[in-house]
Homo-oligomer: A and B are copies of this chain.
Amino acid sequence: MNIPHSDLPRVVIIGGGFAGMALARKLLKEDFQLVLLDRHNYHTFQPLLYQVSTASLEPDSIAYPLRKITRDSKKCFFRLTEVSSITAEENLIHTNIGDISYDYLVIATGSKTNFFGNESIEKNGMWMKTVPQALNIRSLILENLEQAVITDDAEKRKALLNFVIVGAGPTGVELSGAIAELRNNVVPNDYPDIDPNEMNIHLLEGLPRVLPPMSEESSKKAHRFLEELGVHIHLNTMVENYDGELVKTNTDLALKTETFIWSAGVTGAPVKGLNASAMVEKANRYEVNTFNQVNGYENIFAIGDIALMQSEEYPKGHPMVAQPAIQQGKHLAKNLKRLVKSEKLEPFDYYDKGTMATVGRNRAVVDMGKLKFGGFFAWFVWMFVHLWFLIGFRNRLVTFFNWIYNYINFDKAARLIIRPFKANKQIMEVDDDV
């Protein structure tokens, strides 16, 4: 892998997501040789992926070249690679570009989509964990509209104009809201041959309310906002099958659709090679202690979505979102510095900054401790927080400008079918994993 020898202890980080990047940035200037591995050459700001899917933003606004991080230090190396396995006894990682040894290994591989074993969904559905997947959804939505215009088959037209999103967590809610905005604001202008009422957005949720991780209050508000936008919400509804044409559920509801987006769950994305005892099997996540050390290993750590740190407050581990990942990354940087100085490690303590979700323009819901609010001000807070956490000054400014433009013009500027999805389904397979 051509990493030069160094007398400094080598930290290898697998994954440049929120956790891996937070750690890398903190260790850049410290006395470590740092090796960052990722299968993309960029960090993805996942909370805004749905805006790429719905033609509001281009990928460069929410992706950040990882070499722009590593360039700031001569002791830091980036390698574009897929890690295949770990041989912990030899402190060795195996990748498609060769092996690399480590003194400290940090696994920050995040999560992947959870199909709960339903093969029909995995085969025929779409999901949105990476930029290429988000772009595929963008192409599909626009291709469906173009196809609907020209088809004479009423049933086909209906299926093309039915958009089914499964899972009413923040991703599902935000995506449904954004597609509804597209229907309400862009379709009437762009597609005079389509009556916006023909286009239907269905949001399916297995639990009895939308945004299950949030407060009842925010949940109710989001429900109302979604209905105001014209999203059809189906609660207590579990998908049983999607054959590429028909969605079957555990209720009477059956929907014909060409667009089935699965956002109903994630599971850990571990690397092969560690002992079975390192894993919490059901969650597919590594069991870590309060120092993020993987169970059974001294020099292997896991942070972010892939780490399951049990505590009284979080018996099933922290929520698999950006904040715990960022905080664990920063915290581990401090602990690694302590470790090489043989100082006592400090336990991780999660500071919950709150949860939020946006539902179309002018509307969002925010839970911050006991404070819960929704509407225009929440939407404003949502925008501010997302701009704040976006990485890179340029990204912030381009995103900000695009938001203003889209807001004023009721427009979605990036409605370009660059890589047609339907004609190229194999791209998804080759390109990217779950």
| Shortest distance between the CB of A218 and any CB in chain B (Å) | 33
Complex CA gap A74/B150 in Å reads 17
With A71-B189, A394-B405, A430-B423 as contacts: A416 and B59 at CB distance below 8 Å: yes
Q: How many residues of A contact B (CB 8 A)?
A: 54
CB neighbours of A97 from chain B (8 A): 150
A424 at the interface (CB under 8 A from B): yes
For A63, A150, A192, A418, the residue with the greatest tally of chain B CB atoms inside 10 Å of its CB is: A418
A379 CB, nearest partner CB in chain B, Å: 22
Asked whether any CB of chain B lies closer than 8 Å to the CB of A333, the reply is: no
Contact mask for chain A residues 398-429; partner B; CB cutoff 8 A; 1 contact, 0 none:
10011001000000011111111001101100
Residue on B nearest A4 in the bound complex, by CB: B193
A418→B150 contact, CB < 8 A: no
In the bound complex, CA of A402 to CA of B419 (Å) = 23
B192 with A74: CB separation less than 8 A: yes
* Contact residue among B60, B71, B405 (Cβ-Cβ distance under 8 Å from A190): B71
CB distance from A197 to the nearest CB of B (A): 18
Partner of A431, one of B42, B131, B419: B419
Q: Are A40 and B417 touching (Cβ within 8 A)?
A: yes
Which residues on B sit within 8 Å (CB–CB) of A132?
418-419
| Least distance between A336 CB and chain B CB atoms (Å) | 23
Shortest distance from the beta carbon of A331 to any chain B beta carbon, whole Å: 28
**In the complex, chain A residues 17-75 whose Cβ is within 8 Å of any chain B Cβ:** 40-42, 58-60, 63, 65, 67-68, 71, 74
**B80 and A146 contacting across the interface, CB-CB below 8 Å:** yes
